[in-house]
Amino acid sequence: MKTDVLDAQQQVDIKVFSGKTNLVSNKIINEVERMKLVNYNDVKLELPKEKGIKDVKLRWLISEKDSAKNFAMRLFEIKPSGYTPLHQHDWEHEVFILEGEGNIYNKNEKKPFNQGDVLFIKPMEWHQFINNGKKLLKFLCLIPIK
């Protein structure tokens, strides 16, 4: 099979995805419209309403508003000396540290983390993110949608 030769339908699919034409069937347009592609800076930066929080903002990058059925993706931004509340809940977190450094606290100990680290927080595990660095801390946090 030659990879440099595309059939007519594949060519149309590529044009739709690249946004170069609207001359396609409704079926293909509807499939593309369901996909979300956005720069994170274009997602509203919100102030969380939880108590026990300092200098934290977040963006709901993917949520139920996007018709996500299983997981939400959030981007947290914590200023130096800022922190999330010490809390627990019945769902897990998957976290990827994008920028900065800090500590994860679980009532018993603080563990340091840095850019590029990955954290898994089990259901009902106490946790708090603390930015003890000199720069903005940014991390992705994925949670289930219930």
Per-residue pLDDT of 42-84, as tens digits, reads: 999 999 988 999 999 999 999 999 999 999 999 999 999 999 9
CB 95, CB 115: distance < 8 Å: no
Q: Please state the domain extents for the chain.
A: 1-35, 40-144
Collapsed DSSP state (helix, strand, coil) of residue 77: strand
Give residue for tokens 């809940």: 89
Q: Which two tokens stand for residue 10?
A: 């594949």
Res 35: pLDDT = 85
**Alpha carbons 56 and 80: distance in angstroms, whole number:** 10
Write out residues in the chain with pLDDT < 50, as ranges: 1-25, 27, 29-30
Predicted confidence at residue 19, as pLDDT, reads 47
Class of domain 40-144: mainly beta
What's the mean pLDDT when you consider all of the chain?
84
Burial of 52 (0-12, 13-18, 19+ CB in 10 A): exposed
Q: Are strands 137-144 and 71-83 parallel, antiparallel or unpaired?
A: antiparallel
E strand or H helix at 12, and its extent? Answer: helix 8-18
